[in-house]
Amino acid sequence: MLTHAVESYLSVRRAAGYKLKSEGDLLRSFAKYSEAAGILRVSSEKAIEWAALAHSTETRARRLGQVIRFARYIRVEDQQHELPPPVFGRERRTRPTPYIFSPEDIRRLIKTASRLGRFNNFRGFTYSTVFALLACTGLRISEALNLRFTDISQDGLLIRCSKFRKSRLIPLHASTRTALERYLERRVPFAPFDDHLFVSLRKRPLRVDDAEKVFHNLMKELELPLRPQRPFPTIHSLRHTFAVRALETCPDTRDSITKHILALSTYLGHSSVAGTYWYLEATPDLLKRISDSSERFFEGGKL
Catalytic residues: 140, 163, 236, 239, 270, 279
Residue 215: HSE in the Cβ half-sphere, 13 Å Cα cutoff: 22
> Do the Cβ atoms of 152 and 180 come closer than 8 Å?
yes
Q: In 3D, which of 11, 244, 265 has the Cα closest to residue 163?
A: 265
The region that residue 156 occupies, defined by phi over 0 for left and psi between -120 and 50 for alpha, beta otherwise, is left
Concatenate the DSSP letters of all residues of 184-199 into one string: HHHHHHHSTT--BSSB
Distances 84 to 40, 57, 87 between C-alpha atoms, Å: 15, 16, 8
> Do the Cβ atoms of 244 and 284 come closer than 8 Å?
no
> Do the Cβ atoms of 100 and 225 come closer than 8 Å?
no
Q: In 3D, which of 75, 105, 118 has the Cα closest to residue 245?
A: 105
C-alpha to C-alpha distance for 257 and 247, rounded to whole angstroms: 8
- Map residue 66 onto helix, strand or coil: helix
Concatenate the DSSP letters of all residues of 201-238 into one string: TTSSBPPHHHHHHHHHHHHHHHT---BTTBPPP-TTHH
Q: Where are the alpha helices (DSSP H) in the chain?
A: 2-15, 21-36, 44-51, 57-74, 103-113, 122-137, 141-145, 174-190, 208-222, 237-248, 254-268, 273-277, 284-298
C-alpha to C-alpha distance for 34 and 41, rounded to whole angstroms: 8
Cβ atoms within 10 A of the Cβ of 146, count? 20
